[in-house]
Amino acid sequence: MMPVATALAKNLAFWHWYPDLLTKDLTPEQLRWQPEGHDSSIIFATWHTYRAADELVHGMVFQRPSVFAAGGWDRRLPVADTGASPFGNGMTRAQIAALDLDMGELCAYAKAVGDSIVDGLAGMSDADASAELALPFFAEVYPGYDRMSKLDAVAFFAIGHTAEHLGEVQMLKGLMGLKGAPL
């Protein structure tokens, strides 16, 4: 059977490289644009998904400091007010509009997070990967998903959640009259 790290490595590499392609040639105004009735922006959706994957996978699954904390990314991607979580849950429209991050740095951070998750999986035993993890913050929002294996949590946060928000990036591009995905 294929090792867990090998099975997920290609997907992790793709989802942590993809923002490079999706945001290529976008202006700062396009990256920060918020449609009426929708608070998000491309820069926010991208920042949020990788901050969440970093904090949740490194903190809960690998039980080690995030790439953000260990790599000094707070200086490279400064966000003064992150809302209710380190990754932007609960930020207001005005707080999201104020995000002014360098997209090149954000893409480099996304790749660093993906690389670190692949490395973490490579060192994980099958027993550790299948160990159950409690996600009490999901109990009301996603009934039945408040417990999952560590491997499921990696796939959920570093692939599924990332795909969700990069789909949001494609939608925002489409609302601006741009091509969302390259296909």
Which pLDDT band holds residue 58 (cuts at 50, 70, 90)?
very high
Q: Give the C-alpha separation, 66 to 114, whole Å.
A: 12
CB burial readout 64-101, b (16+ within 10 A) else e: eebbbeebebeeebebeebeeebbbeebeeebbbebeb
- Give this prediction's pTM: 0.94
pLDDT digits (tens, 9 = 90+) for 119-160: 999 989 989 999 999 999 888 988 999 999 999 999 999 999
pLDDT of residue 3: 74
Express as a percent the part of the chain with pLDDT over 70. 99
Pick the CATH number of 4-175 from 3.40.30.10, 2.60.40.10, 2.60.40.1250, 1.20.120.450: 1.20.120.450
Mean pLDDT value of segment 2-14: 84
Instruction: Kindly list the domain boundaries of the chain, sorted by start residue.
Output: 4-175
Mean pLDDT value of segment 70-90: 95
What does the mean pLDDT of the chain come to?
A: 95
Mean pLDDT value of segment 60-84: 96
